[in-house]
Amino acid sequence: MGCCASSSKVVAHRSPHADESDRKPAKRDKPPCGKPPEAKQEAKDERKDEHEGTADQASCKETENRTEPPGMVHMEESSPGPSKRRRLVAQLPKIVPVAVSEKEIKQVFEEYLPHVPAELQRTVDCSWQHLVKEAKKAWDSCGELLQWFWLLHPEAEAREDAFGLVVLWLQRGATASHCVVSHLSFVEVGQPWHCLVPGALETLRLHLFNMPISTIRITLWYTPKDGKMVLDKDAEKPFKQAGYRWFQLANNSDGKRGQIMCQKRSQERDARPAPDIPDLCLSSCLLMPNRHQVQVVEEVRRQGSGNAAVLAECLRRHCEGCLQVLPDASPLSSMKEGKGLPLVRTSQSGEVNAWQDFAAECFKEIELPKELLAWFSRRESQEGESDRDALCGGLTIAVNWKAQRSDPSQNFSLVTVQATAQHQELAGQKPVAYLATEDDEISVMVCQLPSGKQYCLYEMACRLLKEAPPVAFDDRAVSQVRLPRLLHHCVASSEMHVRVGESLAAGSAEAAFDVAGAREIFGARLMSRTTPPGALAVDDPPTEQVLAFDGDFLLAVWHEKYMDLQASAPLPLFATRLSCM
């Protein structure tokens, strides 16, 4: 492990040329003349202790002369019993957040950098300009902040005692995430800096693989030597010994070349990663039973809005001709033409277990209460009628915000606003805010809902997107929106199902399934990630630059890929009413 000192047990071997008196005597009926066996054994133990004492002294002297990084501390391991000797073990350095603000970090860095060996500065690119580029890359690509940590002796407490600095960021991807080490340096400590690398790499491995990442990456840059650009082999060696391997070449616009080293997660050695819980998760599941001769009347409190996208896709796939008879005013009318929404899952089955499994899959990101699942998947039995297949449709969206800040002690998050707009319907109200996610094709709209009014949320969302599109980024009315942390499950309203069912009946289009009697459940979770521990402190934005909702607000989600597939105004994947109360 890194620079950990190894210790081996000293075993005393007897020389084959030892005196005959020291050899084990042949088996006899009576003890030989001379010293009794007890005396001979005591003499033998004395010689053995003397030999082991000499070996211990040599081992201690060797340990004292061995050069170790300042982060490595040799300590006596506690012995379980008197029969086992104590041995020396090593502790790894620790990392602690730099804990300064964005305004202070440049001065702190410039005071630290002169103590870093020049050779190391060239190999790992320890320049301030490099960190500025890395900060922009982290923010622009996935809204992540650089995390700054000091490397300290395991028993040191003062930040002034730091012997190294690490700067890193989390590179999130659609299928896997990686930790990029943008800076790794050490101060002059009277020994080659290469000797400090193993302990630091082992500490980083233990710390970073607790995060939801698959690899750790760092770039070693080529430096001039004898008229050629070469990689410092002494610098590369400890990385290879720690399990890092060549990943790919790095080329800068200024002609500078480097080698990206990568360490993969090991299932046998490394800890299991923490679950990567998305910031925003919305789920909707619809069940349309087969038509019954007798209408079933339900008494259940319906709090959410039905999902028009799921209902429209179910009709498009399984009820031929039904969408064409819907009036143009219906939010589902935009699905009359085009290729539909492949994100929506549908299934036909007459088995209750299949309905339950379908709903559980739709809500795998949000734990669904058992009572809601039981209500959704119950079987309706009526005298004289046989139960037949029901149609299930579902949709789930799980994404992270492009940029946000969150404090574990608070029940809200500040999400960066990408663009804003105004609409006459919301005159005198707060602006419409558009929020970016890590998925460039998924965007979110939020706006305050006027109190005392009822809206068809899908119609309202389509109207706002068409009549109040996002304006330029620099013209934002607000820079951040304050969103609550919440977990919400409910039965969706049947109003849209009934309206569509009536429209189908009026248009003489009989669906094979009972649209008006459809059951639907909805779930939403807003649980933003906490700000990483090594992120620099930033000033809170002015109050007038933060959009805070009072009471209910609209949250609508669009997918850019499918907006052009619809004939008229794009239908949002979700349009729901949430509350800050």
* Contact in structure between 464 and 423 (CB atoms under 8 Å): yes
Q: Name the nearest CA neighbour of 517 among 505, 525, 531.
A: 505
Rounded Cα distance between 383 and 325, Å, is: 33
Average pLDDT, the chain: 77
Rounded Cα distance between 288 and 136, Å, is: 49
558: CB partners within 8 A, 6+ apart: 442, 443, 444, 445, 465, 570, 572, 573
- Whether the per-residue pLDDT at 392 is higher than 80: the answer is yes
Rounded Cα distance between 112 and 165, Å, is: 9
pLDDT of residue 537: 86
Reported confidence tier of residue 393, pLDDT bands at 50, 70, 90? very high
pLDDT of residue 169: 95
pLDDT of residue 385: 43
- Whether the per-residue pLDDT at 45 is higher than 90: the answer is no
- Whether the per-residue pLDDT at 197 is higher than 70: the answer is yes
pLDDT of residue 55: 46
Q: What is the pLDDT of residues 142-161, one digit of tens each?
A: 888 999 999 998 888 778 88
Reported confidence tier of residue 417, pLDDT bands at 50, 70, 90? very high
Q: What is the pLDDT of residues 180-194, one digit of tens each?
A: 999 999 997 767 788
Reported confidence tier of residue 427, pLDDT bands at 50, 70, 90? low
271 DSSP 8-state letter: P
Token code pair at residue 198: 């193993």
**Residue 509 host element (H or E):** none
**Lowest model confidence (mean pLDDT) among 13-17, 199-203, 291-295:** 13-17
- CA of 446: how far to CAs of 246, 428, 484, in Å? 45, 16, 12
pLDDT of residue 323: 64
Q: What is the mean pLDDT of residues 354-382?
A: 86
Higher pLDDT, 65 or 552: 552
Rounded Cα distance between 507 and 324, Å, is: 9
> What residue has token string 């890194």?
2
* Contact in structure between 144 and 172 (CB atoms under 8 Å): yes
The pLDDT > 90 percentage for the chain reads: 28
Reported confidence tier of residue 104, pLDDT bands at 50, 70, 90? very high
- Whether the per-residue pLDDT at 465 is higher than 80: the answer is yes
**Lowest model confidence (mean pLDDT) among 113-117, 337-341, 427-431, 536-540:** 337-341
214 DSSP 8-state letter: S
> What residue has token string 């960190």?
131
* CA 5 to chain CA centroid, nearest Å: 34
pLDDT of residue 469: 83
- Whether the per-residue pLDDT at 195 is higher than 90: the answer is no
pLDDT of residue 303: 63
pLDDT of residue 387: 59
**Residue 260 host element (H or E):** strand 257-264
pLDDT of residue 148: 96
pLDDT of residue 377: 87
> What are the structural domains of the chain?
94-264 (3.40.630.30), 280-581 (no CATH)
pLDDT of residue 467: 85
**Lowest model confidence (mean pLDDT) among 195-209, 221-235, 397-411, 503-517:** 503-517
Rounded Cα distance between 172 and 143, Å, is: 9
Measured in residues, the chain has a length of: 581
Q: What is the pLDDT of residues 202-235, one digit of tens each?
A: 999 999 998 889 999 999 999 888 778 888 888 8
Q: What is the DSSP string of 396-432?
A: EEEE-BSSEEE-TTSSEEEEEEEEEE--GGGTTSPPE
Q: What is the mean pLDDT of residues 412-418?
A: 90
pLDDT of residue 328: 53
* CA 9 to chain CA centroid, nearest Å: 44
pLDDT of residue 380: 66
Token code pair at residue 279: 């910031």
pLDDT of residue 433: 93
pLDDT of residue 350: 86
pLDDT of residue 23: 45
Reported confidence tier of residue 502, pLDDT bands at 50, 70, 90? confident
pLDDT of residue 320: 72
Higher pLDDT, 149 or 250: 149
Reported confidence tier of residue 266, pLDDT bands at 50, 70, 90? confident
* Contact in structure between 90 and 63 (CB atoms under 8 Å): no
Token code pair at residue 168: 């890193």
Higher pLDDT, 502 or 304: 502
> What residue has token string 């949709």?
395
- CA of 278: how far to CAs of 169, 376, 402, 418, 575, in Å? 18, 25, 11, 19, 19
**Lowest model confidence (mean pLDDT) among 341-355, 379-393, 489-503:** 379-393
- Whether the per-residue pLDDT at 290 is higher than 80: the answer is no
310 DSSP 8-state letter: H
- In b/e form, how buried is each residue of 336-360, taking b as 16+ CB within 10 angstroms? beeebbebbbbbbeeeeebbeebbe
Query: Which conformational region is residue 189 in: left (phi greater than 0), alpha (psi within -120 to 50 degrees), or beta?
Result: alpha
- Whether the per-residue pLDDT at 18 is higher than 50: the answer is no
- Whether the per-residue pLDDT at 557 is higher than 80: the answer is yes
pLDDT of residue 39: 47
151: CB partners within 8 A, 6+ apart: 71, 93, 94, 95, 162, 163, 164, 165, 166, 186, 200, 203
pLDDT of residue 475: 72
Residue 52 phi, psi (nearest 5): -70, -35
Query: Which conformational region is residue 243 in: left (phi greater than 0), alpha (psi within -120 to 50 degrees), or beta?
Result: left
Residue 219 phi, psi (nearest 5): -105, 125
Reported confidence tier of residue 499, pLDDT bands at 50, 70, 90? confident
Rounded Cα distance between 570 and 223, Å, is: 54
- Whether the per-residue pLDDT at 83 is higher than 80: the answer is no
* CA 434 to chain CA centroid, nearest Å: 23
